[in-house]
Structure 1
Amino acid sequence: MTDMATGKILPDSKISLFDSKYNLINTGVTDAKGNYAFVVECGKTYNVRAAKPEYLTKELKVVIAKENNGRTKLDIALEKEKCLVTVGDDLGKCFGIKMIYFDLDKYNIRREAALDLEKILDVLKENPTMKLDIRSHTDSRASHKYNEKLSDNRAKSTINWLVQNGIDQSRLTGKGYGETQLVNKCADDVKCTEDEHQLNRRSEFIITAL
C-alpha cells in the first residue's frame, strides 16, 4: 500500500476483507513494506477496504484468479484527506463516507450500510473527542407520523450499531426527521422511481464536537 501522490510506503494501515455480500471475513495491517495478505478462494469475488489516519478510506473489488494457485496481487494507493472538518460538517463529505441507506419500511442495518458504518467507526476511533449527531430520514410514502417513528428507529439502530462496536454512547446523539427533509422532488403524490425514493431513506452524520 502506498501514498497516491508520493508513492511512499504506508505501513500499519488497516486492511479489511469482505465477501461479495459485504460479510466481514478478516482484518489485518500492512507490514513495514506496505504488504498484506489474506487466504482466499480461487474464482471468488471479494471487497477490500484500506484505511489509515489522515487518508481517505478506499474500497476495491477483486476477483481471485483461478490459475497460479489463486495468487492475486491488489496494489492500493491511498489519497490524503483534502479537507479539515469542523463542527457542523457532514462527516461523509470529508472522509468519503456515503449516506447510510435503508430498505423500505425497515430500520435494520443493511450489509452494504455496515461497510460504510465501519468507515465511520474508524474515524471515531481515530478521533476520540469527536461527537456526532445522527440524523435519520425517510421517503414520503406512508403517513407523516409513521415516518417520524420509523426515522427515529433508524437513528437508534445506527447509534446502537456504533455503540455495539466500541463507541461510547455519550459521543452520539440522534433524531428522526421523517419525510421533512427530502433531497429531491419525491413528496406526497409525486410519482418517482424506487431509486429516487431510496435517496431519501438515509442517515447523515453531523459533527457536534471535535
Structure 2
Amino acid sequence: MDFTDQRLSYEKGMLDQQSVPESPFELLKGWMSEAIAQNVQEPYAMSLATCGADNKPSVRIVLLREVTETGIVFYTNYESAKGQDIAENPNAEALFFWHELERQIRISGSIAKIDADKSAAYFQKRPHDSQVGAWVSQPQSGEVSNREVMEQTFAQLQSDYPENSPVPTPEFWGGYEIRVEKIEFWQGRANRMHDRIVYMRDQNSSSSAWTTKRLLP
C-alpha cells in the first residue's frame, strides 16, 4: 500500500507564543475542555510510551483520569508490562492527538505511583463489572490459553461479588502520575508550517516556574 499521495492541509487554528498562559496546565485544561466541547471521541485517551531496562520502547493507549497541579494521572495494573517498565525506568511520555482539532500534546516527565487511598477511592467509582474485570487481568499481559478461561474467571468473580456488593481494590492495581517536566503543544498549520510551543520546567527556579520557546515544525 502506498500513501505518499494522501495528505491534508491543516488550517483550523494557530498558536501564538506571546499569548499562551504562564502555566502549561492552564493551556492543557483549556485544550481538553475545547476537545470535549467539540465532541472529540474520548479526548482523554493518550498514547503512553515507556522503556524498561531492556531499552526497548513500548507504547499503548491509556485513559487520562486527572490533571493535577504537577502532572497527569492514569490507572493500571502495577504488574503489567508497562508497570514493569516503570519500575525499571521511572520516565515516560504521553501523547494526545485530536485529529478533529488538528492538535497534539506531548507530555514528558518522571512517573510514580499515587497514594493508595486515592487509587482505592477511584477504583470504587468504577462500574461494578469493570472492578471485577480488574481482577481477571492478573497478571495483565500474561498469556491465557483461550477466551473461555477469561469468561469463566469473570463469571466466578461475578458470583463471588454480586451486583451492589463491594469489590476489594486489588493490591496490584492503582494510579500513576506523570510529573510534568516538559510539555509541547502542537497546532497544525497549512504547508506543514505547524505551530509548536514547548514549556520546560525551570530547574533554577521554583517548581511552578516555566519557560517557553517555539520549535521549528
TM over 0.5: no
Of structures 1 and 2, the one scoring higher in RCO (CA 8 A, sep 6+) is: 2
For normalisation by structure 1, the TM-score amounts to: 0.29
